[in-house]
Amino acid sequence: MADTNFSNDQMLKLYESMLRIRKVEEQLAKDSKEGNIPGAVHLYIGQEAVAVGVCSQLSDKDWIASTHRGHGHFLAKGGETRLLMAEVYGRDTGICRGRGGSMHVADFSKGIIGANGIVGGGISITTGAGLASKLTNDGSVAVAFFGDGAANQGVLAEALNISTLWQLPVIFVCENNGFSEFSPTNTVTAGNIVDRAKPYGTACETVDGNDVIAVWQCAERAKLRASRGDGPTLIEAHTYRQRGHVEAEASFLSKNYRDSQEIESWVSKDPITLFEKRIVDAGQAKIEDLQVISRAMEAEVNEAVEFAEKSPYPDPGGNEQQYMFT
Amino acid sequence: MAKKRMIQAINEALDGEMQRDKKLILFGEDVEISLFGDTKGLVDKYGTDRIRNTPISETVMSGMAVGAAAAGFNVVCHMMFGNFMYTGFDSIANQASKLRYMTAGQISLPIVYMSVFGGGRSAAAQHSDAMHPLFMNLGGLKVVTPSSPMDAAGLLRASIRDPNPVIYLQAAGRGGELGEVPDEEFIVELGKAAVLRNGEDLTIVAIGAMVRPALRSVDFQKTEGVSIELIDPRTLVPLDKEMIFKSVRKTGRLIIVDEARDTCSAASHIAALCAEECFSALKAPIKRVTVNDIAIPYSPPLEKNVLPNEERINNTVSEILKFA
Ligand SMILES: Cc1ncc(C[n+]2csc(CCOP(=O)(O)OP(=O)(O)O)c2C)c(N)n1
Ligand SMILES: [Mg+2]
C-alpha cells in the first residue's frame, strides 16, 4: 500500500464513501433476490476503491461517465442514495423519475453524465465533455469509467487518439475486474490494456484498484496532467468483481465460469476490509469509530429503501412524450 | 411433433446446421456459455474454430461477418441484444446490405445477424428497441421475426441457408415459450406469411412478440361475435404482400400490431401498401397499434403502457368496427 499522510478526517471520508456503496449494493443484492427490483442489477461490490479513489479528486463541475455497473460511481461522485434507490425501484421520485433504472442513473447537477447500457458508450461521451472542459477553460476534467471488456471496443482507440492529439483534460479509468461478462479477461483481450495508450503517446499508469489511497494518488496525478493542459491519462486499475456479472445469473447459466477459490482469494483482498485494517493499524480511528460509520450508512440505506417503497410509480396516464424533446 | 421451448428449437436448428454445413461458423460475445441458451453446447460439439467467443467488439464483429462470408464461409454473427446492432451498424448498413449490388453480383454474403429484440422486461431504453424497420429500410437485408418455436427453428434454417444477409430477430424474453415442433428437420421458407386464425370481419397483422396478445384478442373477439383473420408475416423482408392483400380484400378492415416505434414502423409500411393496393375493398381506415415515438421506459407501469397489448388491440377493434 502506498504511503500517505492523510488526515484522520480524510481517511474516514474515504471509508464512509466506500461503505455507502457497499451497503447500498448489499441491499440491492437482497432486493434482487427477493424480486423487489424490476430490471437487472450489476453490482460493484469489490471495486469500490476505484470509484471512491478517483471521485474524491473531483468536484461537481468535473464530469464522469460510467457503465452498466454504475451505482458506485454515482454515489462516489455525490449522487444521493435515496434518489438512486428510488430509481432502481422504478419510482417517480428516482433520479431519472423511473425512466432509466439501474443501468442509467445520472445526475447532471453533480457532473454525473450517467451509467450506460452500452458497453463502451461512455468513452466517447466523456471525450466530448473533456472537449467542453477545454473550451470552457474552467479547470474541470472529464473521467470515463469503463471495464476491461469495454476496452475492446474500437471507440477506445479513437478516443485515445483524438484526446491526446487535442490534449483534452480526460481521464480514462479502465477497471479490470477480471471478467467481461462470463469470459475471463485474458480469453478475450490481447496484451495489457494499459499499453494501448502507448502508440498514441498518451500518459498511462496501472494501479492496485483495491487500494483506495493508491487510486486516489494515481487520479491526482492524472488530474494534474489534465488540468495543466498535458492531456489525457489512461489508468488501468486492477480489481475484482466479487459478485456475478448480473444478479440472478445462476438461474440461467448452465455452468460455472470461475472457481470459488479465486473468489475467496480476492475477497481476502477486499478493498474495504483492507482499508479498515489500515486505518486502525495506523491509529487513525478505532474499530468503534468505524462501526459508527457503518451503522450510519445502514441507516441511510434503510431510509432510502423506505423512501423508495413509499414513493409512487410514475403515472402512466401522463404525457408519454414528456422528456423526448425540450 | 413434440412440445419445445423456443430457445431449444433455435438451439437444435443451429446444431443441425453446424452439422450439415462444415463451412458454417458462429461467433459472438459469450456464445460458449450462452446467455440465452440458444448457442448452448455448440462449442463442445464443433470446437473453438467454428464457435468463437469474441471480445466486446461489435464494430469488428459485424464487419468480420462480411469478410468471412465474402471469402467463402457461411456466418452466424450473434449480436445478443438488438440494440448492440447499432454499435455494429456500420458494416451492416454500409457493407453487408450493399456489397453484392455495388460489385455487380460478384459476391453473395450468406450471413445471419441474430439477436433478441423488443421490450417488456424493464431492461430500459438501451436494451429494448424493436428496430426491425431500420433494417427493412436498407433494402439489401432480409428481416426475419419468428413468433413460435416451430417458426423460430424453420426460419433459422432457411436464414442460414439463404445466400443473402439476414437479420434474425427473436422476441426478447420469450425463449421459454412452448410450442409444437416437428421431429424431423423442416424449413419455413422466407417470404411466406402464416394465417393463424381465419376470419371474415377484420384482418390483424401482428409481428414477432405481438402475435401473442393479438391471438388473445382474436380469440376474445370471437366470443363477442367478431370474426378476425390473424396473419403473422414471419418475415418482413421479403414480405408476403399477396397473402395480406388477399385477406384485406376479403375483410375490408385492417389493424397492424407492431412493437416498433410508430414513425416508419413496419406497420406504417404495411398500411401504406394496403392503402395503395386494396383501396376499393376498405370499409374503414387502416389502424396501427404501435409504440409511441419514445425511448422505452424502465419503470414497469410506464413500459406496460407503452407496449401494445391485448386491451389496446381490443379497443382498436371496437374503433374500427364503428365504421359501418
Ligand atoms: C455494446 C454492448 N455490447 C454488449 C453488451 C452486453 N454486456 C453488458 S456488460 C458486458 C460485459 C462488460 O464487461 P466489462 O466492460 O469488463 O465491465 P464489467 O461488467 O466487468 O464491469 C457485456 C458484454 C452491452 N451492454 N453493450
Ligand atoms: Mg470487466
> CA-to-CA distance for A55 and A142, rounded, in angstroms?
11
Average pLDDT over residues A86-110: 98
Q: Per the domain annotation, does B187 fall within a domain?
A: no
What pLDDT is attached to residue A5?
Answer: 82
Residue ranges and CATH numbers for the domains of chain A are 8-309 (3.40.50.970)
What pLDDT is attached to residue A4?
Answer: 64
Asked whether A150 lines ligand 1 (CB < 6 A), one says yes
A1 pLDDT more than 80: no
pLDDT digits (tens, 9 = 90+) for B111-120: 999 999 999 9
Angle, in degrees to the nearest 10, between helices B241-251 and B266-277: 60
Strands B228-232 and B194-197: antiparallel
CA of B82 to the centre of ligand 2 (A): 22
Say whether the peptide bond before residue B182 is cis (omega within 30 degrees of 0): no
How far does the CA of residue B80 sit from the closest CA of chain A (Å)? 12
A2 pLDDT more than 70: no
Looking at the fold, whether B139 and B207 belong to one and the same domain comes out as no
Q: Which of A92, A152, A320 sits opposite B306 (nearest CB)?
A: A320
Closest among A120, A116, A69 to A96, alpha carbons compared: A116
What pLDDT is attached to residue A47?
Answer: 98
> CA-to-CA distance for A298 and A21, rounded, in angstroms?
11
B263 pLDDT more than 90: yes
Mean pLDDT of chain A: 97
Q: Which of B58, B125, B297 sits opposite A98 (nearest CB)?
A: B297
How far does the CA of residue A39 sit from the closest CA of chain B (Å)? 5
Looking at the fold, whether B134 and B240 belong to one and the same domain comes out as no
Which residues from B are below 8 Å from A when comparing CB atoms?
29-30, 32-37, 40, 53-60, 83-84, 86-87, 121-127, 292-295, 297-302, 304-306
Contacts with B36 from chain A: Cβ below 8 Å? 252
A72 pLDDT more than 60: yes
Asked whether A103 lines ligand 1 (CB < 6 A), one says no
Looking at the fold, whether B65 and B115 belong to one and the same domain comes out as yes
Angle at A163 between CA A161 and CA A166, to 5 degrees: 105
DSSP-assigned states of every residue in A204-269: EEEEETT-HHHHHHHHHHHHHHHHTT---EEEEEE----S-SSTTGGGT-SS--S-HHHHHHHHTT
A123 pLDDT more than 90: yes
Q: Per the domain annotation, does B299 fall within a domain?
A: yes
B323 pLDDT more than 80: yes
Looking at the fold, whether B26 and B110 belong to one and the same domain comes out as yes
Looking at the fold, whether B145 and B17 belong to one and the same domain comes out as yes
Looking at the fold, whether B69 and B165 belong to one and the same domain comes out as yes
**Domain edge (last residue) among B138, B158, B181:** B181
pLDDT digits (tens, 9 = 90+) for A206-229: 999 999 999 999 999 999 999 999
Which residues from A are below 8 Å from B when comparing CB atoms?
38-40, 90-92, 96, 98-101, 103-104, 116-121, 149-150, 152-154, 180-183, 187-189, 252-255, 257, 313-316, 320-321, 324
Q: Per the domain annotation, does B186 fall within a domain?
A: no
CA distances A165 to A1, A131, A160, B252, B269, Å, are: 34, 12, 8, 63, 46
Asked whether A236 lines ligand 1 (CB < 6 A), one says no
Mean pLDDT of chain B: 98
A77, A110 Cβ separation under 8 angstroms:
yes
Looking at the fold, whether B21 and B105 belong to one and the same domain comes out as yes
Give the domain CATH number at B73: 3.40.50.970
Looking at the fold, whether B42 and B177 belong to one and the same domain comes out as yes
Looking at the fold, whether B62 and B84 belong to one and the same domain comes out as yes
Spatial neighbors of A250 by CB under 8 A, at least 6 apart, are A244
- The ligand minimizing its distance to the Cα of A115 is 1
Nearest CA in chain B to A92: B299
CA distances B75 to B51, B105, B157, B295, Å, are: 10, 19, 13, 32
Asked whether A314 lines ligand 1 (CB < 6 A), one says no
Average pLDDT over residues B95-109: 98
B246 pLDDT more than 90: yes
Q: Per the domain annotation, does B125 fall within a domain?
A: yes
Contacts with A68 from chain B: Cβ below 8 Å? none
**Domain edge (last residue) among B160, B181, B202:** B181
Residue type, A315: D
Q: Dihedral (C-alpha) B18, B24, B30, B33: value to the nearest 10 degrees?
A: 10
Closest among B94, B100, B116 to B172, alpha carbons compared: B116
Would you give the end-to-end CA distance of chain A in angstroms?
49
Average pLDDT over residues B155-177: 97
Complex ipTM, two decimals? 0.96
Looking at the fold, whether B123 and B165 belong to one and the same domain comes out as yes
CA distances B21 to B12, B43, B82, B273, Å, are: 14, 15, 26, 38
Average pLDDT over residues B36-54: 98
Q: Per the domain annotation, does B241 fall within a domain?
A: yes
Q: Per the domain annotation, does B30 fall within a domain?
A: yes
The single-letter DSSP state of residue B33 is: T
B29, B53 Cβ separation under 8 angstroms:
yes
Contacts with B89 from chain A: Cβ below 8 Å? none
Instruction: Specify whether B269 is catalytic.
Output: no
pLDDT digits (tens, 9 = 90+) for B76-91: 999 999 999 999 999 9
Q: Per the domain annotation, does B189 fall within a domain?
A: no
Residue range of the domain that includes B265: 194-320
Q: Which of B30, B37, B121 sits opposite A183 (nearest CB)?
A: B30
Burial label for B323, CB within 10 Å (0-12, 13-18, 19+), is exposed
What pLDDT is attached to residue A112?
Answer: 98
A254 pLDDT more than 90: no
Task: Tell which atom from ligand 1 comes closest to the C-alpha of B29.
Answer: 23
**Domain edge (last residue) among B181, B207, B237:** B181
What pLDDT is attached to residue B233?
Answer: 98
Spatial neighbors of A182 by CB under 8 A, at least 6 apart, are A245, A249, A253, A257, B30, B33, B35
What pLDDT is attached to residue A3?
Answer: 54
Give the domain CATH number at B287: 3.40.50.920
**Per-residue cell: A266:** 480476492
Per the CB < 8 Å rule, is B29 touching A120? Answer: no
Contacts with B305 from chain A: Cβ below 8 Å? 316, 320
How far does the CA of residue A185 sit from the closest CA of chain B (Å)? 9
Burial A266-275 (b: 16+ CB within 10 A, else e): beeebbbebb
Nearest CA in chain A to B61: A153
Asked whether A240 lines ligand 1 (CB < 6 A), one says no
What are A175's strand-pairing partners? A147, A237
Looking at the fold, whether B79 and B34 belong to one and the same domain comes out as yes
pLDDT digits (tens, 9 = 90+) for B279-298: 999 999 999 999 999 999 99
B51-53 β-sheet, strand order: B51-53, B24-28, B74-81, B111-117, B166-171, B142-144, B235-237
CA of A116 to the centre of ligand 2 (A): 14
> CA-to-CA distance for B75 and B110, rounded, in angstroms?
6
**Per-residue cell: B267:** 406497420
Looking at the fold, whether B164 and B272 belong to one and the same domain comes out as no
Chains A & B: contacts with CB separation below 8 Å: 125
What pLDDT is attached to residue A318?
Answer: 87
Percent of chain A scoring above 90 in pLDDT: 97
> What total of structural domains would you count in chain B?
2
Spatial neighbors of A224 by CB under 8 A, at least 6 apart, are none
In a mutational test of the B interface, the residue from A249, A253, A325 whose CB has the highest number of chain B CBs within 10 Å is A253
Contacts with B116 from chain A: Cβ below 8 Å? none
Pocket perturbation via mutation, ligand 1, pick of A21, A45, A47, A180 by most ligand atoms within 8 A of CB: A180
Asked whether A44 lines ligand 1 (CB < 6 A), one says no
Q: Residue A322: how many CB atoms within 10 A of its CB?
A: 11
What pLDDT is attached to residue B147?
Answer: 98
Q: Per the domain annotation, does B67 fall within a domain?
A: yes
